Amino acid sequence: MRETLVVGAGIAGLVVARELVLQGHRVRVLEAEPRAGGQLLQKTIAGIPLDAGAEAFATRGGTVRAYLERLGLADRVVAPLDAPAWLHARTGTTVPLPAVSLLGIPSAPLAEDVVAVVGRKAAWRGMTDALLPGPVGAKSTTLGELVRRRMGDGILERLVAPVVEGIHSKHPDDLPVSVAPGLVHHLLRENSLARAVARLRTDAPAGSLVAGLDGGMGMLVDTLLAELDRYGVPIEYGVRVAEVHADRVVLAVDPDAAGAPARTDADEDVEPEGEIREGLVVVAAPGLVTPADGRAATRTATHLMTLVIEAGTDTARALAENPRGTGVLVARGTDVTARALTHVSAKWAWVREAAAGREVVRLSYESAPTAETARRDAELLLGVSIPETAVVATEATTWLRAGRFEAAPGIPITGEQVSGTGLASVIDHAHRLAEIIGPPAPEAEADSRTDPEASTERTAS
């Protein structure tokens, strides 16, 4: 039987590999980095194991929970602290986000917690949503357009944009309405965006929109790797694919490897031709497939800075006694350069336990901060003094992510570039792709019987 080559061992690649092997494929995974997991990564900071990438999953639709159940991880699913995050508003004040909202879209525009953020005039404009017919704004292509048409600029810019930017690192005008699945459907049923939000929030399991794993999301990677190992799926690390075709991939040559041809400056943009592997190709790696519109996919950086605060200090006590919910999102144009802060040891009980009295906060940025900038931002966002001496560890992590695009038809592709960001979308898409691919074609088996070379590796001349 010919091999099925899965390119990329991020969560999409691991899920699609598992599902394909269960369907009878002979699977091999090729991964550029020396480790699996992609944007799921656990780092130990000051002895505390922490998620350095994704730390939670959306509970909507129950997709991830169902998947975790199948992997035997159901009893590890945990809810975060049940308290709304806060918002550092344009006015420079930091206030709790409206209790019942979705991506910042309020379910009651005139509620006091909404007025506190956007002001009374913008809140009244938000109320026009209730008077407009359901179809108004329903055909919007972006989330920004939808909210602006129904609730006005004030609610969009002062409330929704900071929340959305904190989560997706993009303005709502640059995100499709599908980032809030079901929202337009409920808008049309309820004739109001606010009521659509209320409906979606009521439907969320146990009121929480996200959940995590006791011990961290890194556990999902470990579990999938153990499963693939059990099924005998080889994962080759440090193998970067340069080119993909429906039935083969071309590997990038490591320019430093012994025997690699000498390269000149003129070669700079030319991918060197390398080894070719043959088999059905499934892509789960960013940047490898040409977008349908021919434009190169954009890459954006997210910089994280994690601070660990010493146990027993005034700062640790103040943070433990008065957490600002699970953390603070930041509106643009304020005195803080961070986009968001997660109070990790308040949000997750398992981190609190592992931290043994220390407090852990994680700030995210668009450009790399110094540890000093992060410390000062944390002081402003959390409203406590954090002297340098109270910070026992800092850790910087940078993530480069390829933007979403419509892939040209031909090669099966999965992963956040096509499914949208977030584990719920990524896992669901990878799962469905494996179902669409189905069991290995009988012709492929016949091919491999008549052509013994069909699944062997060869080196390009």
Kind of pairing between the strands at 86-88 and 327-330: parallel
* Cβ distance to ligand FAD smaller for residue 32 or 180: 32
**How many residues belong to the chain?**
461
Range in contact with ligand FAD (rule: CB under 6 A) among 26-34, 132-140, 222-230, 346-354: 26-34
Question: The tokens of 415 are what?
Answer: 């992963």
Q: What would the x/- binding string for ligand FAD be over residues 35 to 64, using CB under 6 A?
A: ---xxx------------xxxxxx------
Q: Is the dihedral of CA 41, 78, 59, 174 positive or negative?
A: negative
Instruction: Report the distance separating Cα 170 and Cα 173, nearest Å.
Output: 8
Measured between alpha carbons, how far is 242 from 251 in angstroms, rounded to an integer? Answer: 5
CA triplet 34, 340, 161: central angle to 5 degrees?
Answer: 115
- Confirm or reject binding of residue 290 to ligand FAD (CB under 6 A): no
Order of strands, sheet of 280-283, starting from the edge strand that comes earlier in the sequence:
235-236, 26-30, 3-7, 280-283
Name the amino acid, one letter, at 263.
R
> What is the C-alpha radius of gyration for the chain, rounded to an integer number of angstroms?
24
Residue 440 binds ligand FAD (CB under 6 A): no
Type of residue numbered 386: I
**Of 426, 433, 434, 437, which lies in the binding site for ligand FAD, with binding defined by CB under 6 A?**
426
CA contacts within 13 A on the Cβ side of 203 = 15
Q: Tell which positions 62-101 bind ligand FAD, by CB under 6 A.
A: none
Strands (E), 366-459: 391-402
Q: What sign does the CA torsion over 54, 57, 58, 61 have?
A: positive
Residue from 240, 248, 376, 432 binding ligand FAD (CB under 6 A): 240
304 binds ligand FAD (CB under 6 A): yes
Measured CA to CA in angstroms, residue 449 lies from 70, 228, 442 at distances of 35, 26, 11
Only segment of 80-88, 175-183, 279-287, 322-330 that touches ligand FAD (CB under 6 A): 279-287
Determine which residue in the list 5, 6, 12, 434 makes contact with ligand FAD, applying CB under 6 A: 12
Q: Which residue stretch of 224-232, 353-361, 414-422, 437-445 sits at the interface with ligand FAD (rule: CB under 6 A)?
A: 414-422
Q: Does 327 bind ligand FAD (CB under 6 A)?
A: no
Q: Which is nearer to ligand FAD, 155 or 241 (CB)?
A: 241
Asked if 412 interacts with ligand FAD (CB under 6 A), we say no
Can you tell me whether residue 238 is helix, strand or coil?
A: coil
Residue from the set 147, 164, 197, 284 that interacts with ligand FAD by CB under 6 A:
284
Should residue 106 be labelled a site residue for ligand FAD when binding is judged by CB under 6 A?
Answer: no
Q: Of the two residues 5 and 331, which places its CB atom closer to ligand FAD in the complex?
A: 5
Stretch in the footprint of ligand FAD (CB under 6 A) among 104-112, 188-196, 378-386, 420-428: 420-428
Q: Which residues bind ligand FAD (CB under 6 A)?
A: 7-13, 30-33, 38-40, 53-58, 240-241, 284-288, 302, 304, 399, 401, 415-416, 421-423, 426
